[in-house]
Structure 1
């Protein structure tokens, strides 16, 4: 998909926000929803999406809503760090297919990184074990 196009209300994250598709929630308020990536690149890979907007990517996000959303991204990143104690964190966001975006609803990836471990490729592999994802979500949520 191109960088600029109409927002599609049938994307998987919009379905999650409506409650049409389940997710392993870490955090939710009126601004954002954070949940475990079902195809994690690293253990503890968490996604944070904005609520109440039809933003395909960072460029589409209304400026007046950006600050509150980024506060939630930071809040979840801090909880991931406290819960999982990684050596580092990747906070990544893709804009457009050419940049690697695969779901066209703005989202940030928070990926704990441990020295010596390598991340799996983006949006690849088999789905993670749901029990493990729920346990990780609980660990992270305990630090929010």
Structure 2
């Protein structure tokens, strides 16, 4: 499946749709989810055109991979949910249809600020 340049995250990255930004660097953009599922619910997306984690792992540069992982940690710290300054958080990446992915651009959800609960119900 080719990357869809018209997906909502591509439009956010291009500045066509606003977001409530938390953090941005050369590799990632993070913003608050518009439909939060927990007290803290943020998204971290790579700036590159990657459909899902499999695509990212096969095609991203080492700098992009490190940048994404570091970005997740930086955002958790900024939100006060990291293991350094909070009680922890959950990261979640849905992959393709069976995994529940709704937007065809790799993205990680960060949930925290309260007990998240069971992994799968």
Normalising by structure 1, what TM-score? 0.70
Return the alpha-carbon distance in structure 1 between the equivalents of residues 35 and 20 of structure 2: 12
Partners of 2:113 and 2:92 lie apart in 1 by: 13
Which residue of the partner structure matches residue 48 of structure 1? 44
Residue 86 (structure 1) shift: 5.6
Q: Report what 1:133 is aligned to.
A: none
Moved over 3 A (4+): 85-88
SS of the residue corresponding to residue 73 of structure 2 reads helix
Q: Which residue pairs with 2:8 in the alignment?
A: 12
Partner of 2:70: 71
State whether residues 93 and 107 of structure 1, in contact with CA within 8 Å, keep that contact through their aligned partners in structure 2: yes
**Is the 1:23–1:36 contact (alpha carbons within 8 Å) kept by the matching residues of 2?**
yes
Report the Cα distance in structure 2 between the residues aligned to 1:63 and 1:30, rounded to whole angstroms: 13
Residue 98 of structure 2 aligns to a residue whose secondary structure is helix
* Alpha-carbon distance in structure 1 between the residues aligned to 2:86 and 2:41: 11
More helix by share: 1
Figure out how many residues of one structure are paired with residues of the other and give that number.
111
Q: State the superposition RMSD in angstroms.
A: 2.0
Does residue 37 in structure 1 map to residue 33 in structure 2? Answer: yes
Deviation at 1:74, TM superposition (A): 1.3
Distance in 1, Cα, partners of 2:5 & 2:111: 26
Gaps of 5+ in 2: none
Structure 1 residues 118, 39: closer, same or farther in 2, change over 3 A? farther
Query: Normalising by structure 2, what TM-score?
Result: 0.82
